[in-house]
Amino acid sequence: MWCPKCKNEYREGIKVCADCGCDLVERLNEAAEYAEENGDFLIDEAENLPYDELEGNPEAAEDSDIAAGEVEGNTEKKEISPAYVPKRVKYEDNKSSAYTFLLVGGVGAVLVALHIFGVFNFNLSPTSKLLTNIVMGSLFVIFLIVGIVSTRNSARYKREAAAEEALTEQIKAFIRELYTTEGIDNACAVTDDLGTYEKWELRYHFIENQIKGEYPELAEDYLEYITDMIYNELYAEQ
């Protein structure tokens, strides 16, 4: 997600820019539309010119680039952490890959064997037949190896997924037993006069801190993942 005014990037789930208060957009090219609709000048007049005008006016384009560079130099960069991938998803992906590679590799190996024993005759010269069998046989052997590795990985991810899901339910139960939505709002001083982003920030960080305090060993990406999950379940209607 991107801010159409200051062009800062935010992770998924945030809807409002913390610096400008603007609604975030999914792509930066929507920022120009936002500026045109709202009459805003993002950095200077040159930056709001259509792309074809900037392209035809090197000086304006250069000024726009300089201005953008100055803003980037004075703006604190926000660290964007990659989205957490649950172990269950990794298990399903590896299982699907294992089945695909084993099936293709197995069928291909059978076809190569039939070709070697003359069941299929493509009227190739002995040399061409030998090269074809070596190349295709090697390819399908590699498919089988990848399938076996994926099968082993899927078995490992299946065990890890079960443990992770048990931990996730344990953390969710921990929060539900201690807090209701009203209790969280009271604990972090959420009031009706606060904006949507301010409410989200106070609630989110309160839940995150409670989880971190009880489970300090959690990885940062998993902590964000479970915090998002709990927040969305508690405040789904809001």
Residue 158 has pLDDT above 90, yes or no: yes
Count structural domains, the chain: 2
For residues 63 and 120, membership in a common domain is answered with no
Residue 19 has pLDDT above 80, yes or no: no
What's the whole-number mean pLDDT along residues 8-36?
69
For residues 69 and 117, membership in a common domain is answered with no
Find the farthest-apart pair of alpha carbons in the chain and give their distance in angstroms, rounded. Answer: 84
User: Domain end: 52, 80, 108, which one?
Assistant: 80
For residues 124 and 63, membership in a common domain is answered with no
pLDDT at residue 238, as a whole number: 59
Q: pLDDT digit string (tens) for 49-95?
A: 444 444 445 444 444 444 444 444 444 444 555 689 999 999 999 99
Q: What mean pLDDT value characterizes the chain?
A: 80
Of 36-50, 121-135, 152-166, the range with the highest mean pLDDT is 152-166
For residues 67 and 146, membership in a common domain is answered with no
For residues 73 and 11, membership in a common domain is answered with yes
For residues 133 and 208, membership in a common domain is answered with yes
What's the whole-number mean pLDDT along residues 189-214?
93
pLDDT at residue 14, as a whole number: 74
For residues 92 and 181, membership in a common domain is answered with yes
pLDDT at residue 71, as a whole number: 42
Residue 202 has pLDDT above 70, yes or no: yes
For residues 144 and 212, membership in a common domain is answered with yes
For residues 17 and 134, membership in a common domain is answered with no
Q: pLDDT digit string (tens) for 106-134?
A: 999 999 999 888 888 778 888 988 998 99
For residues 6 and 64, membership in a common domain is answered with yes
For residues 223 and 144, membership in a common domain is answered with yes
Q: Domain containing 123: what range?
A: 87-234
For residues 3 and 73, membership in a common domain is answered with yes
User: Domain end: 80, 102, 117, which one?
Assistant: 80
User: Domain end: 32, 53, 80, which one?
Assistant: 80
